[in-house]
Amino acid sequence: MRIQVSQISEKDGLRRDYRFPEGKPDLVDPDCSVAGESSLGLFAERSGSEVKLSGTLHAKIQFNCDRCLESVVRAVDEEFDLFYIPSFQKGGLNDEAELTEEDLTVSFYEDDSINVGDIMREQIELVLPMSKVCDDDCRGLCSECGVNLNKIQCSCRTAAVDPRLAALRDLGLRDDPR
């Protein structure tokens, strides 16, 4: 799916709605995937060769919790504003220049078109959490027996001491350093 820059009216802009089939777009993060259909609504404005895109995306993202390994589905409903210029305007690759904050918000397009799938993928990847957990209070898996501590309280001894620190126990220090 592509937007042809030359088809964007400088006076009226261009409004488009896109639906992506189940599981699309493919995400860069191999541990995450799009669950079900996703959609992207956008409005494009053009001034010469410069394009401003604004819109919203709706998707459901599936991943496994980093702590308990349970499958999690989270809704992603985001708004975005993007600015595009043709790639021939970006200058030489060997040119040294200090980046301004405005430079970080600019993307480039080639061949008079902008890939809508890339926009969707990029916006989803930007909102993915660094730590993918099912709940902030997730207790994870028992390090001894491997049961999900959110579902079952195991009977494993949790006060295992690292053998390198066992000598400190003999000094009579409290178990809880607080």
**Tokens representing 127?**
């909102």
More confidently predicted of 98 and 42: 42
pLDDT at 106: 85
Q: Which of 149-153's residues contact partners 24+ apart within 8 Å by CB, and which partners?
A: 149/68, 150/68, 150/70
Residue type, 175: D
pLDDT at 138: 92
pLDDT at 163: 77
Q: State the residue for tokens 């998707």.
A: 59
pLDDT tens digits, one per residue of 69-111: 999 999 999 999 999 998 876 555 556 667 677 666 788 888 8
Across all residues in the chain, what is the average pLDDT?
Answer: 85
Q: CB within 8 A of 41, min separation 6: which ones?
A: 15, 16, 17, 18, 55, 56, 57
Q: Which residues pair with 74 in a beta bridge?
A: 61
pLDDT tens digits, one per residue of 109-119: 888 999 999 99
Average pLDDT over residues 51-59: 94
Q: CB within 8 A of 133, min separation 6: which ones?
A: 65, 66, 67, 72
Average pLDDT over residues 149-172: 76
Residue 27 Cα distances to 53, 57, 108, 122, angstroms: 21, 15, 20, 8
pLDDT at 17: 94
pLDDT at 82: 92
pLDDT at 39: 94
pLDDT at 156: 83
Q: Is the pLDDT of residue 178 over 50?
A: no
- Bridge-based pairing of strands 2-4 and 113-115 is antiparallel
Q: Is the pLDDT of residue 45 over 80?
A: yes
More confidently predicted of 154 and 167: 154
